[in-house]
Amino acid sequence: FDASAFLPQAGHDLVTGQPITYHAGTGTIAGLVDGQQYYVIRDAESLAFQLALTASDAFAAQPIEFSSLPSGEFSFESTSVDGNVIYGTNHGLETGQALQYNAGDGPASLSLTSGETYYAIRIDDTRFELAASRADALAKQPLTLTGQLNGNQYERFTTDTVVQLFNASLAKPVVDEQLDLLTIPNHHLIDGTHVIYRPAGTALDGLADGGEYVVHVVDSDSIQLQSASNSHTVDLAAPTTFGNGRHALYVVHADLDIDRDVFLLADHGFDDGEIVVYYSDGQPAIGGLTDGAEYEVIRLNGDEIQLSPIGQTTPIDVTAGAAAYDLHRLVSQSGSEVAFTPELTAPSRDVSLVLFNADALPALDLASNTIRIDNHQFAEGETVRYLQTDGSDIGGLQNGAEYTVHVVDSANVQLRTVGSQTAVDLTSRPVGVRHGLERESLITSFDVPIHGLNNGGVYYAVVIDSDTIQLARTPADAVGAAALELDPTTVAKPHSEIHQLRTTATAGVGVTADL
């Protein structure tokens, strides 16, 4: 992030796409209008966020670019509800899941009734809608909400169920070591794409953390990876233990975005108005530019520039023309030089990251009518409700219907119609990946945050001893031992609810709320 990003002094739980209103106060931010609503683009690794003009721009990661640094004092007012959509950091709800609204110590919000049960309609990990009945939720018919949450003390949504998810559409292991295939449904990659591999933990045998590979597309759901140096297909080995998690392929895009006429040059060091010479070094030139010609820099930020004719402010409309993988250069009058690759074989820029669960195995065995959910912890005869969010039903099951569990082993179950001792005949794999079994849970979602902390906020540790820490808002506060004051009395059930502190590198440390 750069000058177009904001880094609040305090923690926040803003999420990408969330509406936020700018209040100028005594400050000035060129390009923003006092009192106007914008949309958040959150940096997943920090408190920083950028602003977009529309929600669609926010989800497409297209921020407003500011021409100068902000000045003075200003503020932002966040909105937790936009129309019928409620924002909640990693809310964990699935479509059709029951939840209760409690208004806390004030009047009810959003035309809801305190104590009433509603049903979630999941949009994504940070957004959901409410329905009056489970049938309405499964039919994607949300309630019409009015106004905003009142912000009453203890106002919250709670649920006493959890949905254990499984990918019912997967027909074969993600890693096929016989054919050296990765099965990634709808990967959207194209043949010849260069990718950087990053594992969730331990790298797959045959791949190196940070290694660059070339994609060979087998079909729309399967790829092979080839060495970038010799084009040999990588010999893959399937993971031998459960828990390797989600691995990533980062798509390597060209350093020139022709659609925006923008050069993507990390830490380029050029100043606005600086004169540079463009060199294609005997290779085909970028359309709109001439090898050896001088141009003026339009500096957008520390990583992006445009070029214009000298003395003009309108950027040049660059077009295709350069050959894939050729190196071109921009050289300043002081002699500083930036080499870049204006053309690469790659999918559209909205395909930048492809995730896959390397240890995923098919969840459905149609021959034995079993569902695989590793370490499921279901009890024999337990009642569950089948829910699916984004496709068709598993053949033989009905979305929203209740079943009883027959435990085959710790990783496999069968479902029975309530009152029957015979397993449901699973006849076909569904469309869509979000399928789950809703069960009662002792964990309540949306517990009241500890006073002094924000749900989803980023904090910095002040280590007291091997068993005790305090939390600070900033690294400087942590170094100076300026810890936050916390009040555990705001937590509804201090002896049963579990809160978590998560670092960016580990799965999380469980911390009870009665600190």
Q: What's 434-460 look like in SS3?
A: CEEEEEECCCCCCCCCCECCCCCCCCE
392-398 contacts at long range (C-beta below 8 A, 24 or more positions apart): 392/430, 392/431, 392/432, 393/430, 394/168, 394/364, 394/426, 394/428, 394/429, 394/430, 394/435, 395/426, 395/427, 395/428, 395/429, 395/430, 396/369, 396/424, 396/425, 396/426, 396/427, 396/428, 397/424, 397/426
Four-point Cα dihedral 495, 498, 503, 507, nearest 10 = 130
Closest CA to 123 of 268, 15, 21: 15
pLDDT at 374: 83
* pTM assigned to the model: 0.63
- Cα separation, 319 vs 313, whole angstroms: 18
- DSSP-derived letter for residue 192 is T
Q: Which CATH architecture has domain 362-440?
A: Beta Barrel (2.40)
Equal CATH topology for 175-251 and 362-440:
yes
pLDDT at 173: 84
Per-residue pLDDT of the chain (515 residues; tens, 9 = 90+): 344 667 665 556 788 888 888 888 777 777 788 888 898 888 766 667 888 898 888 888 888 877 667 777 788 887 788 889 998 777 889 999 999 999 888 899 899 999 999 999 999 888 899 999 999 999 999 999 988 788 777 788 888 888 998 888 888 888 988 899 998 888 999 999 999 999 877 888 899 999 999 999 999 989 999 999 888 999 998 776 554 467 999 999 999 999 899 999 988 999 999 999 999 999 999 999 999 999 999 998 888 999 999 999 999 999 999 999 999 999 999 999 999 999 999 998 888 899 888 877 788 999 999 999 888 889 999 999 999 987 899 999 999 999 999 999 998 999 999 999 999 999 999 987 789 999 987 444 445 566 667 665 667 777 776 678 888 776 666 666 677 777 665 554 444 455 666 554 333 343 433 34
- Cα separation, 223 vs 231, whole angstroms: 14
pLDDT at 23: 86
- Cα separation, 285 vs 280, whole angstroms: 5
- Cα separation, 35 vs 68, whole angstroms: 20
- DSSP-derived letter for residue 86 is E
pLDDT at 498: 57
- Cα separation, 197 vs 203, whole angstroms: 9
Closest CA to 462 of 452, 475, 471, 450: 471
For the chain, domain boundaries: 19-79, 85-160, 175-251, 256-340, 362-440, 460-512
User: Looking at this protein, which amino acid is placed at residue 372?
Assistant: R
Which residue stretches of 25-144 are H helix? 55-59, 134-138
pLDDT at 512: 36
CATH topology of domain 175-251: Elongation Factor Tu (Ef-tu); domain 3 (2.40.30)
User: Looking at this protein, which amino acid is placed at residue 383?
Assistant: T
pLDDT at 316: 96
User: Which pair of tokens denotes residue 476?
Assistant: 């400087």
- Cα separation, 403 vs 410, whole angstroms: 18
pLDDT at 506: 31
pLDDT at 508: 34
